[in-house]
Amino acid sequence: MSKKRKGFRIEKDSLGEVFVPNSALYGAQTQRAIDNFPISGIKMDFPFTNSFIDSLGLIKDAAARANKSLGLLSSKKSLAISKAAKEVWQSKHNDQFPVDVFQTGSGTSSNMNANEVIASLATKYAKIKIDPNDDVNMSQSSNDVIPTAIKISAHMDLTKKLYPALDALIIAIENKAKTLKGTIKTGRTHLMDAMPIDFSEELKAWSSQLTSSKEMLNILEKKLLELPQGGTAVGSGINAHKQFAKCFAQEMSKLFGNKYKFVPSKNFYHELSAQDCSVQLSGELKNLALILMKVSNDLRWMNSGPLAGFAEIELKGLQPGSSIMPGKVNPVIPEAVAMASADVIGNDVSITVASQSGNFQLNVMLPVIAYNLLKSINLLSGAMNVLSKKAISSFKVNHGNLEASLSKNPILVTALNPIIGYEKAALIAKKAYKEKRPIIDVAAEETDISKAKLKKLLDPAKLSKGGT
């Protein structure tokens, strides 16, 4: 190897020498990963969240504190590592994490990236050599660091981003439902006219779905607090103090202001070899995506028209809808939310496939699991924010269209079944539909029931409440 290259320095690892940019805080192992994996251009410093890199900083900080308390690391080294790690978890050095997502399946490259960056900074602060492996990575392995980082970063994004967005959407829907109470519209099954419903109940069904999803997420969130850190290479805890896992979890809780109680996993072999929690969380995120897709599609159908569709509501016009058809305004927010939901469903498939690569004592697709899981959380968070602010809160109801549809709905005749029987009611419904006449007029002709009584029996508001 040439001993000189402008703008570069020479770093060494167990494989030999490698050129590293002078400006880089990282060292040889990170540089080898940069050279080895020019695959996607997607860095572990994800464009949608800093949480994964932040979690690596938190892990190194907590580990240094734990190793110090166990008498394994000097105060000088521990303090320097913690200071450097804090800068990492405060997102001050994200540009120093250039490794591609598609790298070694254990995420070793990203773990060493963090070790090297923190060691470089800590060496400067302590004014003594801080080794990336022996000091920063003490009592750890990439095989427990990366699974722990997945859990911590997912927990951070779930609690800081997804929950607030989900709560805001539920509140927006419930507030809208209150304003629509008593507004009666045609219900639909199979996309066909069905019995009338209260518009507010249609919206409350959405909020009920979302609330149910949050209940499941709350259960899974607690599992994210059970950390694999301490299992080291294969789950046995080799090269880690017997009390390290417990001490680490305590230190991590302190770094979160004791707001959350982190604990060691019940079984390290389980946590290193499998990604059950990620799969379960992704599954519920997929379910949430399906809920958002339903809400979005319902809004699109209700907004369809304005002349040849349902035209039950009018979504706020946010931008011109066509490059060729003047005056057209499209339901852009529900469409965007539906697309984000589709991507989340795809992410779940990626996580599912990646999870089956848990061979013996290690899953070897950890970085792509982290990428897709965090992408799903952040996509859903953003989608729910725009849905609540730019669609749910602002849509208007076309009351005239609702009333016109109700008056001609042949399905209202269902209320007469107990009086005239199913067959007679079916004949009335078919005639009303064929002649495009209000059901009450046809029923008055075909039965001995007075129009006044028919008006009470066929009152859509009454029918929306159910019963006989």
Say yes or no: domain 408-463 is CATH 1.10.357.10: no
Largest alpha-carbon pair distance within the chain? 105
Percent of the chain at pLDDT > 70 equals: 99
399 belongs to the catalytic site = no
190 belongs to the catalytic site = yes
Q: Sorting pLDDT into bands at 50, 70 and 90, what band is 143?
A: very high
Q: Sorting pLDDT into bands at 50, 70 and 90, what band is 262?
A: very high
Helix, strand, or coil here: 397?
Answer: strand
Q: Is the peptide bond before 320 cis (omega within 30 degrees of 0)?
A: no
Mean of the pLDDT values across residues 147-155?
98
Residue 4, number of CB atoms within 10 A of its CB: 9
* pTM to 2 decimal places: 0.95
Q: Sorting pLDDT into bands at 50, 70 and 90, what band is 324?
A: confident
Burial 167-180 (b: 16+ CB within 10 A, else e): ebbbebbbebbeeb
327 has pLDDT over 90? no
Q: Are the C-beta atoms of residues 121 and 87 closer than 8 Å to each other? A: yes
Q: In this structure, what DSSP letter does residue 133 have?
A: I
468 has pLDDT over 70? no
Q: Pairing relation of β-strands 226-227 and 263-264?
A: parallel
pLDDT computed for residue 383 by the predictor: 98
Of the candidates 40, 212, 322, 450, the residue annotated as catalytic is 322
Residue 378 CA to residue 384 CA, distance in Å, equals 10
Q: Which residue type does 226 have?
A: E
pLDDT computed for residue 320 by the predictor: 86
Which of these ranges, 164-168, 373-377, 463-467, has the smallest mean pLDDT? 463-467
Helix (H) or strand (E) holding 194, with range, is strand 192-198
Homologous superfamily in CATH for domain 8-138: Fumarase/aspartase (N-terminal domain) (1.10.275.10)
3 has pLDDT over 80? no
Q: Sorting pLDDT into bands at 50, 70 and 90, what band is 56?
A: very high
Percent of the chain at pLDDT > 90 equals: 91
Identical fold at 8-138 and 145-229+247-399? no
2 has pLDDT over 70? no
377 has pLDDT over 80? yes
Q: Which of 465, 399, 387 has its CA nearest to residue 171?
A: 387
Mean of the pLDDT values across residues 121-126?
98
Half-sphere exposure of 145 (CA within 13 A, CB side): 32
| In the chain, where the domains are located | 8-138, 145-229+247-399, 408-463
DSSP string, 275-313: -HHHHHHHHHHHHHHHHHHHHHHHHHHHH--SSSS---E
Which of these ranges, 13-27, 37-51, 290-304, 310-324, has the smallest mean pLDDT? 310-324
402 has pLDDT over 90? yes
Average pLDDT, the chain: 96
Residue 393 CA to residue 299 CA, distance in Å, equals 12
Q: Sorting pLDDT into bands at 50, 70 and 90, what band is 319?
A: confident
407 has pLDDT over 90? no
Q: Architecture of domain 145-229+247-399 in CATH?
A: Up-down Bundle (1.20)
Of the candidates 2, 14, 190, 323, the residue annotated as catalytic is 190
> What are the tens digits of pLDDT across the range 193-221?
999 999 999 999 999 999 999 999 999 99
pLDDT computed for residue 54 by the predictor: 98
pLDDT computed for residue 1 by the predictor: 56
Mean of the pLDDT values across residues 342-364?
97
pLDDT computed for residue 63 by the predictor: 99
Residue 63 CA to residue 91 CA, distance in Å, equals 18
Mean of the pLDDT values across residues 33-42?
98
Residue 335 CA to residue 314 CA, distance in Å, equals 15
Residue 349, CA distances (Å) to 73, 170, 272, 275, 279 in order: 43, 27, 21, 14, 10
Mean of the pLDDT values across residues 450-466?
91
pLDDT computed for residue 4 by the predictor: 80
Residue 69 CA to residue 85 CA, distance in Å, equals 17
Q: Are the C-beta atoms of residues 385 and 163 closer than 8 Å to each other? A: no
Q: In this structure, what DSSP letter does residue 255 have?
A: H
